[in-house]
């Protein structure tokens, strides 16, 4: 097993203090997550609701769970009672469902808007035009228990660092435009979640405030 504690401590020394590290624990067993947690780290990210539910009750209750993978609408109700942030909101209908489930238990849910910034069509996310249209609608203004905290995106899976940089720069530009045009009076709208194990250094240079890192900490998936 990799030295998870040393890896996470080393990584945190490389990341500015204002940047939050989401440790991506998908496919990793509970003992690996505990090894990271025991360094004092408390923010973990999972891709799949079913896997998250299978781990959550076996781990300390003060872990802040981020849902970072594509979220199916019929799974929303299972995570709304405890999730710290849903980073992968990629449609208005999903946002609506999150709000509806949140209303049932009167709990505000922090969310990020996922933008499609990569060249791969298989990745999910809004376009800037879709977000502008959505936030200008009367239906959007009826959402009482979702709090939009910023944007998220995944760059193209490529060795072309200039392409990755261009995509991250575009996402940060989307954030800045939304902050200026729509969320200027919302201090909570402050996050740009971009950067994973292979490209987080570029993401930091381009304005990331949240990085989502797994393999540097836990080792490559087998």
Query: Among 189, 187, 192, 195, which residue's Cα sits nearest to residue 213?
Result: 195
Q: Are 85 and 42 in contact (CB under 8 A)?
A: no
Residue range 74-121, pLDDT digits in tens:
999 999 999 999 999 999 999 999 999 999 999 999 999 999 999 877
Confidence of residue 179 (pLDDT cuts 50, 70, 90): very high
CATH number for the domain formed by residue range(s) 4-218: 3.20.20.10
* CA–CA separation, 207 and 19 (whole Å): 9
Domain ranges, ordered by start, for the chain: 4-218
Q: How does the average pLDDT of the chain come out, rounded? A: 95
Query: Residue 124 burial by CB count (10 A; 0-12/13-18/19+): exposed, middle or buried?
Result: middle
* CA–CA separation, 95 and 110 (whole Å): 11
Q: Is the pLDDT of residue 215 over 90?
A: yes
Q: Which residues are CB-contacts of 75 (< 8 A; sequence separation ≥ 6)?
A: 49, 50
Residue range 117-167, pLDDT digits in tens:
998 776 789 999 999 999 999 999 999 999 999 999 999 999 999 999 999
Q: Is the pLDDT of residue 221 over 80?
A: no
Q: What is the pLDDT of residue 137?
A: 96
C-alpha dihedral over 149, 150, 156, 157, to 10 degrees?
-30
Q: What is the pLDDT of residue 131?
A: 97
């Amino acid at each position: 097993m990799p030295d998870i504690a040393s890896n996470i401590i080393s990584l945190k020394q490389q990341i500015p203090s204002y940047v939050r590290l989401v440790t991506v624990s998908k496919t990793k067993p509970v003992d690996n997550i505990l090894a990271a947690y025991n360094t004092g780290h408390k923010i973990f990210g999972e891709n799949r609701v079913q896997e998250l539910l299978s781990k959550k009750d076996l781990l300390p209750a003060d872990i802040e769970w981020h849902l970072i993978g594509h979220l199916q609408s019929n799974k929303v109700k299972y995570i709304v009672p405890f999730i710290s942030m849903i980073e992968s909101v990629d449609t208005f209908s999903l946002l609506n469902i999150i709000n509806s489930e949140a209303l049932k238990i009167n709990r505000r849910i922090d969310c990020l808007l996922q933008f499609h910034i990569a060249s791969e069509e298989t990745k999910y996310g809004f376009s800037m035009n879709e977000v502008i249209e959505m936030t200008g609608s009367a239906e959007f203004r009826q959402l009482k228990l979702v709090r939009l905290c910023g944007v998220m995106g995944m760059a193209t899976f490529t060795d072309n660092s200039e392409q990755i940089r261009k995509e991250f720069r575009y996402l940060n530009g989307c954030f800045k435009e939304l902050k200026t045009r729509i969320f200027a009076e919302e201090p909570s709208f402050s996050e740009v979640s971009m950067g994973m194990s292979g490209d987080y250094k570029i993401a930091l240079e381009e304005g990331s405030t949240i990085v989502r890192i797994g393999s540097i900490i836990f080792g490559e998936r087998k």
